[in-house]
Amino acid sequence: MAQRTALYDWHLANNGKLVDFSGWDMPVNYGSQIEEHNAVRTDAGMFDVSHMTVVDLSGADARAYLQILLANNVAKIDGMVGKALYTGMLNQNGGVIDDLIVYNMGQKEDLKQSQWYRLVVNCGTRTKDLEWMTAQIKHFDVVIKERDDLAMLALQGPNAIAKHAVIEPELAEAISKLTVFQGIEVGEGLYARTGYTGEDGLEIILPAAKALSLWEQLSAAGVKACGLGARDTLRLEAGMNLYGNEMSDEVSPLIANMGWTIAWEPSERDFIGRTAIESEKQAGIAQKMVGLILRDKGILRAHQKVIIEGVDGSVIEGIVTSGTFSPTLNLSIALARVPVAAKIGEQCQVEIRNKRLTVDIVKPVFVRNGQSLI
């Protein structure tokens, strides 16, 4: 039987269309995916993302351990309790085991003043992530604890924070002062200015027993419940990667447009995968990510073939990694991985149902904060 979040019964009672998502019964929508998408772009929507895996990591060597485990450097968030960092966790070959967010949670008396970090990883990679993290502990004084007692809600949209202030007014001032990728721990909850939609908002990690009450209050305040379908179209419009599509164990962060998440300095920080991606960087990457726009009828989808004709008449192929209909732009968009060797112009072709359709090539980000970038 699939796992269920604390909001499972609410989803059922409110017409949530449940699907199996990496072993979890999760709502893909509540009737209209487009309405849910547009609510986040123009007002406020909320997502049950309690299927995500939350891991607390503590111990005297927690910082040193994470500096080896992660491609980004947690030293960047030293002294900033609640600050978040986006990063990849790489294998020895430089492939991405997972992408994740790590929070500096500071120190606590009950942890004997040890360092404390909170990681949020993908549910689909949960087993291999935990196995990999455990295998790398070796001589480090570190304790890894999966927090399956917690739930996670994502409140997103231009009016998201204002609507949350109506529900929990005592937190409004503190939350209003948060900068992007910064969080604050209040009681048993962590409120962070993070998200996966290209809009402002909060991700809230709280005890599972308290999730339903907050969710219902937000719903009563006019925040629209949204399913994972809208979450995917929103993240794709924002040019955000999806694990298993844009990145994987075989795809490096350099190819997946994640070069900005790699901390090369200090040079002596020998994080896992560094040697491989340094060699790749020096040699030059073989592929890169681009954005595609189809202005004719049709829908771009993952795994469709991309055909690029060189100026010399040669033909080079790439692949669509993610594609969808964009409700904000009212046309089809995609992210694609193409050979760097290709003499890319402003257009190429995508093969859809044995037909080649012309698409525009753009930067791999389409919409941010409700505004078109194309």
Q: Cβ atoms within 10 A of the Cβ of 50, count?
A: 25
Residue at which a domain ends, from 205, 237, 269: 237
**242 inside domain:** no
Same domain, 294 and 363: yes
Same domain, 45 and 176: yes
Same domain, 194 and 337: no
**118 inside domain:** no
Same domain, 292 and 356: yes
**138 inside domain:** no
Same domain, 156 and 233: yes
Tokens linked to 152: 């996670």
Please give the Cα distance from 230 to 242 (Å, whole number): 14
pLDDT one digit per residue (tens) for the chain, 374 residues: 789 999 999 999 999 999 999 999 999 999 999 999 999 999 999 999 999 999 999 999 999 999 999 999 999 999 999 999 999 999 999 999 999 999 999 976 555 557 899 999 999 999 999 999 999 998 899 999 999 999 999 999 999 999 999 999 999 999 999 999 999 999 899 999 999 999 999 999 999 999 999 999 999 999 999 999 999 999 999 999 999 999 999 999 999 999 999 999 999 999 999 999 999 999 999 999 999 999 999 999 999 999 998 666 778 899 999 999 999 999 999 999 999 876 777 899 999 998 999 999 999 999 999 999 98
Tokens linked to 292: 């595609």
In 200-229, which positions are buried (b, 16+ CB within 10 angstroms) versus exposed (e)?
bbbbbbbebebbbebbeebeeeebbbbbbb
Tell me the pairing of strands 355-362 and 347-352: antiparallel
The pTM for the full model equals 0.94
Same domain, 295 and 228: no
Residue at which a domain ends, from 177, 210, 237: 237
Q: Which residues contact 95 (CB under 8 A, 6 or more apart)?
A: 248, 249, 250, 251, 252, 273
Same domain, 163 and 233: yes
Same domain, 298 and 233: no
**353 inside domain:** yes
Q: CA dihedral defined by 323, 84, 120, 364, rounded to 10 degrees?
A: 10
Q: Cβ atoms within 10 A of the Cβ of 356, count?
A: 12
Nearest Cα to Cα of residue 22 among 299, 238, 242:
242
Same domain, 332 and 189: no
Q: Which residues contact 290 (CB under 8 A, 6 or more apart)?
A: 318, 335, 336, 338, 344, 361, 362, 363, 364
Same domain, 225 and 348: no
**252 inside domain:** no
Tokens linked to 363: 């930067």
Q: Which residues contact 112 (CB under 8 A, 6 or more apart)?
A: none
The per-residue DSSP string of 4-27 comes to --TTHHHHHHTT-EEEEETTEEEE
Longest dimension (CA), the chain: 68
**327 inside domain:** yes
Same domain, 45 and 155: yes
Tokens linked to 111: 């942890």
Per the listing, tokens 């072993």 go with 23
Q: How many domains does the chain have?
A: 2
**229 inside domain:** yes
Residue at which a domain ends, from 237, 261, 296: 237
CATH of the domain at 157: 3.30.1360.120
**78 inside domain:** no
The domain in which residue 367 lies consists of 286-372
Same domain, 45 and 177: yes
CATH of the domain at 291: 2.40.30.110
